[in-house]
Amino acid sequence: MSAHAETQHAAHPPVAHQSSRVDARTLGMFLFIASEVMLFGSFFTAYFFIRVVNHQPWPPHPFHLPVFVAFVNTAILVTSSFTMHWSLQSIKRGNRVGLQAGLTLTLLMGLTFLLTQLLEYARIGFTPHDQAFGTIFFSLTGLHGAHVLVGLTILAAMTTRAYRGHFSPEAHNGVEIGGIYWHFVDVMWIIVFTTVYVL
C-alpha cells in the first residue's frame, strides 16, 4: 500500500460492517429493551414469591386497590400507543401535521397517565412500608412509572424536533426508535396491570 493510500485510509476509515436488515440504532434499542425486560422480570419474580408465600387472598387484608382507576389509566396508555403509531405512519407519508398531532396527543396522554398514578399513590391508603405487599406494589408500579417518565422525556424531545421540521419521509428514525420504547412501556403496563390489579 502506498503512502498516499495509507494517509487516505487513516483520514477516512472504512465503514463499519453492519446488518442491512436492522438499523444499528434500532437494534440498540431492542437490546436495551431486552435488558429492561430482565429487570422487570426480577421484580415480577419477587412479586409472585410474596404472593405464594403468603397463602392468603390477594391483595391481603386490609389493602384495597383502585382497579377501575387503573383500568381507565390502562385505556389511556393503550390509546397513546395508537397515536404514537399514527405519528410514525404520518411522517412516512410526509404528513407533518399528523406527526405533530400524534406526538402531542401521545405526550399528553402519557403525562395524564403518570399524574393519575401519582394521584393514586396519594390516595391509596397505604405506603411502601406497609408489609411486603405495600413494598412490592410500589416497587413494581413505581419502576414502570419511572420508565413512563423516561418515555415522556423522549417524547418531549421528539415533539420539539417534529415542530422544528427535523423529520421527513426519508429521515424518521428518531420517531421510530422513540415509538419502539413507548410501545414497550405500554405493553409492560398491560402486564403490570393484569398481574397486580386483576389476577
Asked if pLDDT for residue 162 goes beyond 80, the answer is yes
Q: What is the pLDDT of residues 38-96, one digit of tens each?
A: 999 998 998 888 888 777 777 777 778 888 999 999 999 999 999 999 999 998 898 99
**Could you tell me if 80 and 110 are in contact, meaning their C-beta atoms sit under 8 angstroms apart?**
yes
Q: Which of 16-20, 90-94, 188-192 has the highest mean pLDDT?
A: 188-192
More confident residue, 3 or 83: 83
- Residue 12 to residues 9, 18, 24, 33, Cα–Cα distance (Å): 5, 18, 20, 33
DSSP per-residue letters across 85-100:
HHHHHHHHTT-HHHHH
Cell of residue 92, nine digits: 412516512
Closest by CA position to 89, among listed 175, 185, 184, 182? 175
Rounded to 5 degrees, what angle do the CA atoms 188, 189, 193 make?
125
pTM, two decimal places: 0.82
Domain architecture of the chain: domains with CATH: 25-198 (1.20.120.80)
Percent of the chain with pLDDT over 90: 45
Return the pLDDT at 17.
58
Asked if pLDDT for residue 112 goes beyond 90, the answer is yes
